[in-house]
Chain A
Amino acid sequence: MEIFMDFLLAFAVGGFICMLGQLLILITKWTSARILVSFVCLGALLQVVGLFKILKEFSPFGVSVPITGFGAGLAEGAIKAVKEDGFFGIFSGGFTAVAAGLAVAITSAFIVALIFKSHSK
């Protein structure tokens, strides 16, 4: 039952974030890269002000699976590294924290690109 709730909340919260993205595509003239980066920044901002943690407790995957989770991870890593290593943690902490996620994304993108070809619909 708990797993079912996790799915439901992930769908509701994650879906809401994706809906915001879709609205930006429809209403604004922003490029997809700009929208993507905005959500990374939004995630980082939510992490810094402490809202991300509250949202994550409410729906563990709803906020962390979309790109907002990547932004939050960057911020969280940077804050942690600053506490441990001082000033230079600003630069090293973020990428250390998201290294696994980045490597998986790049590797899987490469494999998919090798196998599939793009088509116009």
Chain B
Amino acid sequence: MVKTTQIKKGGYIVSGYSAVGKKEHEGPLGKFFHKWFEDDYLGEKSHEAAERKLLKTAFDGAVRAAKLKFGDIDAILSGDLLNQIISASFASRGASSAFLGVYGACSTMALGLGLGATMTQLGAFKRVLVGVSSHFATAERQYRLPLEQGSQRVPVAQWTITGAGATVVSSDKPTEETGAKKSFCPRIVSATFGRIVDPGIKDANNMGGAMAPSAADTLTQFFRNTKTAPKDFDAIFTGDLGRLGEEIMRDLCAREGFTLGAEYSDCGWLVYDSGDAVQMGGSGAGCSAIVFNSYILKKLRSGEFRRILFIATGALLSATTALQGESIPCVAHLVEIRS
């Protein structure tokens, strides 16, 4: 059974920044995002370069919002969905900080926050920058077909988010000068790293159904480890389960004796209007990253949320395993945040 690691010191969330595409800007959470881009190329030559620029924008924005310089960052924890996590490493070119590439597919934001908080607790790292990105067009090339091929797109239930989010996690509580003007300072108080759960689903278009059991596994284990219940939290967020996945998640948790009420919602389902062509909501590593660094962080700062759970799930498939008919192993990582 997976353990819950208590973060006894450090884990302070100093700042967050989100950069998104046009579709995300036009969605219900549009007003919360810090910056948006009209053109999906962001003025770059390729969509891959555009994704890197999105991530770099989020990196710079988070560091700026923390009233720091890039040189003040001790380590960058970053990942994305592309082969060899190129967005993360290429966007970190030129930085003097240590670079640690992390991959957890769409769970990367929660994985990075959990690892970042653990690192700041150790004392060796004072300030850690966690950044995650995804881009609709690069994900299509990675998992399906390149847009350049111009083949008709198979209707899939979820739409990959074009966006990047970055967070600065610090070992010290930020003082007035370092950006935390408001009285509430969110702190990561525990991290629960999940195990691989594979419910045997082979349909790459049913990610929500594949990932929900892993989210339920990590969440119910967290409740047991900490002897808490859903009602103890102001909000519980999953990453990108989508509408169907959210329903499965509620069922699975209820079966374990933990009934999720109105406090539970899914980032993917929050990002887009339900009337849109996006039937089940948003997905992708950037999904939980942009919602966390805008909407969730803002409500933690204002004191509307005092204690929340942020669980991001990742479907650890590749285009090759999908074509070879393998099922989808999934993982879910959870961080508990108080302000």
B320 at the A interface (CB under 8 A): no
Task: Flag if B154 contacts A120 (CB, 8 Å).
Answer: no
- B147, B154, B155, B162: the one contacting A118 at CB < 8 Å is B147
- Known: A26-B155, A32-B151, A117-B41; 16 extra A-B contacts, CB below 8 A, are A25-B152, A25-B155, A29-B203, A32-B152, A32-B154, A118-B147, A118-B148, A118-B150, A119-B40, A119-B137, A119-B147, A120-B21, A120-B40, A120-B136, A120-B137, A120-B162
**Count of chain A to chain B residue pairs whose CB atoms are closer than 8 Å in the complex:** 29
Q: CA A62 – CA B223 in complex, angstroms?
A: 63
Task: Flag if A118 contacts B152 (CB, 8 Å).
Answer: no
Query: B interface, how many residues as a size bin?
Result: 10 to 19
Interface size on A, residues (CB 8 A): 10
Chain A: minimal CB distance from B22 (Å): 9
A113 at the B interface (CB under 8 A): yes
| Residues of chain A within 8 A of B155, CB atoms compared | 25-26
The majority secondary structure among interface residues of chain B is: loop
Give me 17 A-to-B residue pairs in the complex whose CB atoms sit less than 8 angstroms apart, sorted by A's number: A25-B154, A29-B203, A32-B145, A32-B154, A33-B151, A113-B148, A118-B137, A118-B148, A118-B150, A119-B41, A119-B137, A120-B21, A120-B40, A120-B136, A120-B137, A120-B147, A120-B162
Chain A: minimal CB distance from B145 (Å): 7
Proximity bits, A110-121, B CB within 8 Å = 1, else 0: 000100011110
For the complex of A and B, 4 pairs with smallest distance between CB atoms: A118-B147, A32-B151, A120-B136, A120-B137
B140 at the A interface (CB under 8 A): yes
- Candidate in A25, A32, A33, A120 with the most chain B CB atoms within 10 angstroms: A120
